Amino acid sequence: MTNSLRNVALVAHVDHGKTTLVDTLLRSTGAFASHAAIIDRVMDSDDQERERGITILAKAARINYGTTLINIVDTPGHADFGGEVERALALVDGIVLLVDAAEGPLPQTRYVLSKALGLGLPVILVINKVDRGDARPEEVLVEVEQLFLDLASSDDQLSFPVISAVAREGRAMMGIGMPAPDADLTCLLDTILSTVPAPTGDPEAPLAALVTNLDASEYLGRLAIGRVHSGVMKKGETVALWGKDTDGNPLKRRIAQLSVFDGIGRTEVESISAGDLFVLAGIPEVEVGDTISALTVTTPLPRLEVDEPVIRMAFGVNTSPYAGREGKFVTSRHLRDRLQKEILGNVSIKIADTDSPDVTSVAGRGELQLAVLIENMRREGFELQVGRPEVITKEINGKRHEPLEAGTCDVPDEHVGTITQGLAPRKGRVTDLRPGDPGRTIVSFEAPSRGLIGFRSMLMSSTRGTALLHQTHAGWTPWVGELPHRLGGAMIADRIGSTTGYALDNLQLRGELFVAPGVEVYEGMVIGEAARGEEMVVNAVRAKEKTNIRTHSHDDGPKLAAPVDHTLETAIEWIGDDELVEVTPKSIRIRKRGLSIEERRKTSKKG
């Protein structure tokens, strides 16, 4: 059984073509029925994955190649979802590393490669997009070889097969070059069979399996996904569940249903042998990292560990005057139950209680990961308010340290100065400058995670959306002290009502507005950013006084500039420590923690 099976993960930096390559592999091996409606990036099944154009959750598919079954795990490229990558690597025996033929290896390439080499997994290098006009595959291969020299722990890891590919068209060839017009992916599939070892594990030994992911079914409840390391897993069998807190006394549970991956779906089976991936139902207490074993086994498999979170945010019940208007789930019980459900399937997110029963602290790998969670919650009908992201610090040798980020930014040449000027006050430093595409430069830098909160939105606005920014966790650095935030103060509404063009026309002279006429606001809601640093309390609902004067100049309508339309990410980055983002299924509003002037005065006196 195991000789005719391979488990392989596709890993790469963001947008280097992993999900597209899975599409073409599925097509070329006949995984889709002839009558099936096929969409691009079929593995990105989540709404946010398709909207953002990124993979968020690691997923598996199975293809048949000759007499061999190949389980392919598609992994995320964003560092914020590194927990998904680490779990995916626990399922496989080798990786296919994709690198863009023009961009070369980038921060996340280094991150996923270091994890794979640390586990001793063999690597197949695929230089993708060799048909790009600015492709430089020979130089990229040299850069990847340098990366292996930096990360490899043995000489064996410095030797790896190289394939050039155009994943979008399903063409590949061995070595460096341009695949022929009639080429297919046969050479990649053959290389997987020859490079990635068949799974090890004795089918005759007692059952031992590791759970690496969770899913849910409306009919079957919680589903456990993982790999059988030894023995045979059988439907209907009673097994031992070794959880985090079992202390040598595992729970006894029965496997109600057992499935394997089949194409992009799943097929029920009676048993699964050592080396294969499983999906099982019937164990409601199972969590990521647990071991499922035969009752005779006395010790569990090593528990799956992932990197610790570096950023946390406070999630609280919506307390604005408009609370409960748009959402279905508005209580602290709803909020806590939803967060508990999230951590069961997401090992890189941690939650903790705070002084208030209505507020929960949620820690993750980055702003994007937490923003995806908040966006999912608002789409499910939740109302909540979230605070500004703050970094998690730790003591090293008696000194306070904070997380450090390594980043690369691909920008037009004329905006290189924007990055260097933006990094300087944030205590960042440029580590490398090199030419990218014609007219563009790739800037590599290091900066404290705290300093990069808000950096992305500043960069996008100043480069008119032409910059590409990627960052990844790079260790810890001594606390760098106070860092600047935004330049302007908040423009705060002083009463409830609907904004008027007349009031906003006067206010736009004093700063940048976040609202248009006819928007409902309330006391304490932030409606703009003042040009000066101090806060302004303003009347945004004042109507024009009616008079008997009727002249052309008096009756000219106000000419308002388009307001700044904050997305969830930009709102989270913009707010200060005394502000919150109110999130409902239909609205994103920025508000002060204390809504009335009196509340804010009392708070400022205390603090």
484-543 confidence digits (pLDDT tens): 777 788 899 999 999 998 889 888 888 899 999 999 999 999 999 988 888 899 999 988
Cβ pair 540, 527 in contact under 8 A: yes
Class of domain 490-606: mainly beta
Q: Sign of the CA dihedral 168, 172, 177, 179? A: negative
Residue 103: what pLDDT? 82
Give the range with max mean pLDDT: 64-73, 261-270, 363-372.
Answer: 64-73
The candidate with the shortest Cα–Cα distance to 288, out of 305, 269, 272, is 305
> So where are the chain's domains?
2-195, 208-293, 394-478, 490-606
Confidence of residue 465 (pLDDT cuts 50, 70, 90): confident
C-alpha to C-alpha distance for 288 and 223, rounded to whole angstroms: 11
Q: Which of 18-27, 469-478, 548-557, 592-601 has the lowest mean pLDDT?
A: 548-557
The predicted model gives 230-255 an average pLDDT of 86
Does 589 score more than 90 pLDDT? Answer: yes
Q: Give the CATH number of domain 2-195; options: 3.30.365.10, 3.40.1180.10, 3.40.50.300, 1.20.1050.40.
A: 3.40.50.300
**Assigned fold of 208-293:** Elongation Factor Tu (Ef-tu); domain 3 (2.40.30)
Cβ pair 380, 329 in contact under 8 A: yes
Residue 321: what pLDDT? 92
> Nearest-5° angle of CA 584, CA 588, CA 592?
105
Summarize pLDDT for 181-202 with one digit per residue, the tens: 888 889 999 999 999 998 888 8
pTM exceeds 0.85 for this model: no
Residue 46: what pLDDT? 44
Which residues, 6 or more positions from 320, have their beta carbon under 8 angstroms from its beta carbon? Answer: 385, 522, 525, 582, 589, 591, 595
| Residue-wise burial string across 224-243, b where 16 or more C-beta atoms lie within 10 A, e elsewhere | bbbbbbbbbbebebebbbbb
C-alpha to C-alpha distance for 183 and 165, rounded to whole angstroms: 10
Class of domain 394-478: alpha beta
C-alpha to C-alpha distance for 439 and 411, rounded to whole angstroms: 9
Greatest CA span in the chain, whole angstroms?
A: 97
Hunting for tokens 């009673």 — which residue is that? 238
Residue type, 565: D
Cα of 42 vs its chain's centroid, Å: 18
